[in-house]
Chains A and B, each alone.
Chain A
Amino acid sequence: MLKLITYLLQQGVATAKNICPDLAEGVIGLPMLTDAPCQSGCTACVEVCPTDAISVFNIDDANHVRLDLGACIGCGYCVDVCPTGTIKNNPTTRVAVRTREELILTTAGAAAEAANKELVTQGRTAAAKIPTADSLSKASWFGRSVAARVVSTGCSACDMELGAAGNPIFDMERFGVHIVASPRFADALIVTGPVSKGMQEALVSCYGAMSSPRVVIALGTCAISGGVHKGGYAEANGVDNILPVNVYIPGCPPHPWSIIHGILLAMGKEHLALAKKK
């Protein structure tokens, strides 16, 4: 035991001071759209996309791209094939948002908004049954600390990255985030995975066991849209088919920094995630 204490003292503090820094060069993040005009007639990105997250449409004879980060698994293949640089790798780890709409990007701006909205509700299976979200009178309800219950319904990658977010390097506990073992004393419900049929009942009863006010965080592409599993017989179409979602964290799996960004967003403390200038 003394040896262990000596070792730990020798290791010093491993915790990163820079919160939510950009990804290192060469690391694949989520894609982003740039101002570079899309090449007319080109559908290279659509063809390689494994989850149909990209569509190409035409406004006034100009080719435009729509990218749904909620369906994107971050494979980076579209970035590799884009001839014009319209789609680029986005090195930021601050990717969490509060609404599903914010995950849908287009190069067409306001002209595409209506179609974006339609995409959000498309394919929702049980809209009528979703409970209404708890109203949070203040964005910073959980500003000092948040107790989070994690329900895993997926392939374990998001769970492992959430575990990593608690390791000495990322150390999310310093922001007052605690992972708790029961929904009874949880403020936030973090859901990973697409919530297929087998887990729907368990997830709803877990949410029901939490006292108000409570927030729901959809962690990862599967939790947001079903990802590669969407539309199958197991109804693995994402959390917001079943529960009201307050924060979406895209990525497959999201980087531990992105997870921390999402939880900070749910706490109303996202300003902490602004990386210090180099």
Chain B
Amino acid sequence: MEHDQMKLERQQTPFHELHDILDHALSKSSDKRVGLLTSITGGEIATLLLSPKDGTAELMVTAVENNKYSSFSTHHAQFHWFERALFDFFGIVPEGHPRFKHLLLHDQYAQDFFPLRKIDLPTDFRNALPRRYEFLEVKGEGVYELPVGPIHAGVIEPGHFRFSCFGETIVNLEIRLGWVHRGVEKRLTEVPWQKAHFVAEAAASDTALANAFAHAIAIESILDLEITERAQYLRTIALEIERLAVHIIDVGGIGTDIGLLGISSAMGRLRGKALALADLISGSRFLRGFIFPGGVRPVSERKLSEIKAGVIALKKDLTPVIQMLSDNQMATERMKDIGKLSKSLAAEFGMVGIIGKACGIDCDTRRQFKQGKYPELAPEPSIEIGGDILARTAVRVGEIWSSLKTIETLVDNCPHGEEKVTVPEMLPANATGLGIVEATRGELIHLIFTDEDGKICRYAIKDPSFDNWTAISIAIRDNLIADFPLCNKSMALSYSGNDL
């Protein structure tokens, strides 16, 4: 069955109704979930409600009075970071938020600086929240704090982890991010929309392709633009190549943190082979500039057959290495029952991607929302129930195999034809566009609003990591501090995609 392009209308929803809708949608019996919560100008809240079952979405726009509303986080834990970001960027106060403080903008910014706010603050607005960040303090005899970051020991993005420990055991972990906040969402409204895909790619470059993909879907849904069948295939192939490259290095990273350096160096080398596939399809190891609204860059038949040969060779190369990791008793013992997250908490916090799948939640958006050749050709989901490091690694390994298989199928069936269609010069006025893509880490959302002149006035990105960072804090509680690096690696979340 062909899924139609998703059309999104802005529905005006008063507050009391929104509360009821959310209560209902997020109840255990419901099959809906919240994609994101943000604002457009600072005068309203925009809530994106997803129906994964039928692949549709609703956008509810609720006017905010006196720049404040009563927080949803008290009832629905998933909102706790959304609401903090809402204050960071728009100055809207979620009253009663259980841990109300800045999320991404640090002390360097002026007290009343709200970069995405378009309307004036109310004259009687008093911003009582200090920029200075206070960590949650765990009290008790023998409890000590261990600060880590923002600069980490390895070659990795910056973030601050504040551990409160009792002996070797982590009692609480508070994660403070925002160090690489570059103002991506604002920049996306400043550049000409035809060039915006380059900025979208830079949101998180290990997810460059998925970001360009979600951007293109969102723009095309605004324009009501149908792209060619060949472009749909090529986009989907590229998406799987990106997933393959990241999963390979992340599984290799598990090897590093366990101490199996032979496995990690083999995986590092094999990631190079996945990147060579990216080079073949796009001329770029990170698939940059490949997808844009209207289509993709041209790909020759010769390159496609080289990609297929590369995939077959890579499957052969990966098999013994992954086998050695899964057969290794020491590796299994290091991963089993460590960093465990329960399914109910994962659902309550709206976890997506690898983390959700490792807790038994079928949250693979490739099977739910139109993106390239999905859901028609979507692979079987890779689902585990353990919720621990072992389960997350198994999900990744499962996705490595399914991506390899999917690329082969897609290459075999990829039709001839044009790679791009002509794109209109202007975007329609007051339109809303939505793109959902299953990035390597999970559900990636791009939501675009245009103003009365057809200019992009608000561009919201929800990286899967934004949903998932809290998972580390929950999963590592009561675990040994020495297990943190491995647990962190098993989640492999994005800092830049979260900080934007």
- Identify which of A159, A199, A201, A222 contacts B155 (C-beta below 8 A): A159
- Identify which of B198, B285, B495 contacts A228 (C-beta below 8 A): B198
Whether A160 is near chain B, meaning CB under 8 Å from some CB there, is yes
Identify which of B108, B155, B202 gathers the most chain A CB atoms within 10 Å of its CB.
B155
The reply to whether A50 and B195 form a contact with Cβ atoms under 8 Å apart is: yes
Closest residue on chain B to residue A48 by CB atoms: B195
Given A155-B202, A227-B202, verify A234-B182 contact (CB < 8 Å). yes
Stretch in contact with the other chain, from B25-33, B146-154, B380-388, B407-415: B146-154
The reply to whether B262 and A5 form a contact with Cβ atoms under 8 Å apart is: yes
Whether A8 is near chain B, meaning CB under 8 Å from some CB there, is yes
- Identify which of B265, B286, B303 contacts A253 (C-beta below 8 A): B286
Whether A181 is near chain B, meaning CB under 8 Å from some CB there, is yes
The reply to whether A164 and B272 form a contact with Cβ atoms under 8 Å apart is: yes
Which A residues lie within 8 Å of B150 (CB)? 198-199, 202
The reply to whether B283 and A26 form a contact with Cβ atoms under 8 Å apart is: yes
Whether B268 is near chain A, meaning CB under 8 Å from some CB there, is yes
Task: State the Cβ distance, B325 to closest chain A Cβ, in Å.
Answer: 9
Whether B179 is near chain A, meaning CB under 8 Å from some CB there, is yes
C-alpha gap A155/B279 in the complex (Å): 20
Interface residues on A, range: 35 or more
The reply to whether A7 and B182 form a contact with Cβ atoms under 8 Å apart is: no
Given A152-B156, A160-B249, A253-B205, verify A169-B180 contact (CB < 8 Å). no
- Identify which of B113, B324, B499 contacts A4 (C-beta below 8 A): B324
Q: Once A and B bind, how many residue pairs between them come within 8 Å at the CB atom?
A: 167
The reply to whether A167 and B320 form a contact with Cβ atoms under 8 Å apart is: no
The reply to whether A156 and B206 form a contact with Cβ atoms under 8 Å apart is: yes
Given A76-B283, A156-B496, A233-B115, verify A164-B271 contact (CB < 8 Å). yes
Given A202-B158, A253-B205, verify A168-B268 contact (CB < 8 Å). yes
The reply to whether A194 and B320 form a contact with Cβ atoms under 8 Å apart is: no
Whether B288 is near chain A, meaning CB under 8 Å from some CB there, is yes
Given A7-B262, A156-B205, verify A151-B180 contact (CB < 8 Å). no
The reply to whether B262 and A255 form a contact with Cβ atoms under 8 Å apart is: no
C-alpha gap A206/B151 in the complex (Å): 9
The reply to whether B202 and A229 form a contact with Cβ atoms under 8 Å apart is: yes
Closest residue on chain B to residue A50 by CB atoms: B198
The reply to whether A198 and B151 form a contact with Cβ atoms under 8 Å apart is: no
The reply to whether A198 and B283 form a contact with Cβ atoms under 8 Å apart is: no
Task: State the Cβ distance, B187 to closest chain A Cβ, in Å.
Answer: 5
Whether B472 is near chain A, meaning CB under 8 Å from some CB there, is no
Which B residues lie within 8 Å of A252 (CB)? 288
The reply to whether B202 and A151 form a contact with Cβ atoms under 8 Å apart is: no
Task: State the Cβ distance, A181 to closest chain B Cβ, in Å.
Answer: 4
The reply to whether B272 and A169 form a contact with Cβ atoms under 8 Å apart is: yes
The reply to whether B288 and A73 form a contact with Cβ atoms under 8 Å apart is: yes
C-alpha gap A159/B153 in the complex (Å): 13
Whether A154 is near chain B, meaning CB under 8 Å from some CB there, is yes
Whether B121 is near chain A, meaning CB under 8 Å from some CB there, is no
Given A4-B260, A76-B283, A200-B108, verify A162-B155 contact (CB < 8 Å). yes
Given A3-B324, A179-B155, A198-B106, verify A234-B208 contact (CB < 8 Å). no
Whether B347 is near chain A, meaning CB under 8 Å from some CB there, is no
Whether A75 is near chain B, meaning CB under 8 Å from some CB there, is yes
- Identify which of A14, A73, A182 contacts B198 (C-beta below 8 A): A73
C-alpha gap A261/B249 in the complex (Å): 24
Could you mark each residue 131-153 of chain A with 1 if its beta carbon is under 8 Å from any beta carbon of chain B, else 0? 00000000000000000001111
Identify which of B179, B279, B286 gathers the most chain A CB atoms within 10 Å of its CB.
B179
Which B residues lie within 8 Å of A32 (CB)? none
6 new A-B contacts at CB < 8 Å, known A155-B204, A156-B157 = A156-B495, A156-B496, A159-B155, A196-B183, A199-B158, A202-B179
Jot down 17 A-B pairs with beta carbons below 8 A, ordered by A. Answer: A4-B260, A50-B198, A73-B198, A73-B288, A74-B284, A153-B180, A154-B180, A155-B180, A157-B206, A157-B208, A161-B285, A164-B268, A167-B272, A169-B269, A196-B183, A199-B180, A202-B151
Q: A residues within 8 Å of B by Cβ?
A: 3-5, 7-8, 11, 14, 24, 26-28, 50-51, 73-77, 150-157, 159-164, 166-169, 179, 181-182, 193-194, 196-202, 206, 222, 227-229, 232-234, 236, 252-253, 255
| Nearest 5 pairs of A and B residues by beta carbon | A157-B205, A181-B153, A50-B198, A167-B268, A232-B183
Q: B residues within 8 Å of A by Cβ?
A: 106, 108-109, 113, 115, 150-151, 153-158, 178-184, 186-187, 190-191, 195, 198-199, 202-206, 208, 249, 260, 262-263, 265-266, 268-269, 271-272, 275, 279-280, 283-286, 288-289, 303, 320-321, 324, 327, 494-496, 499
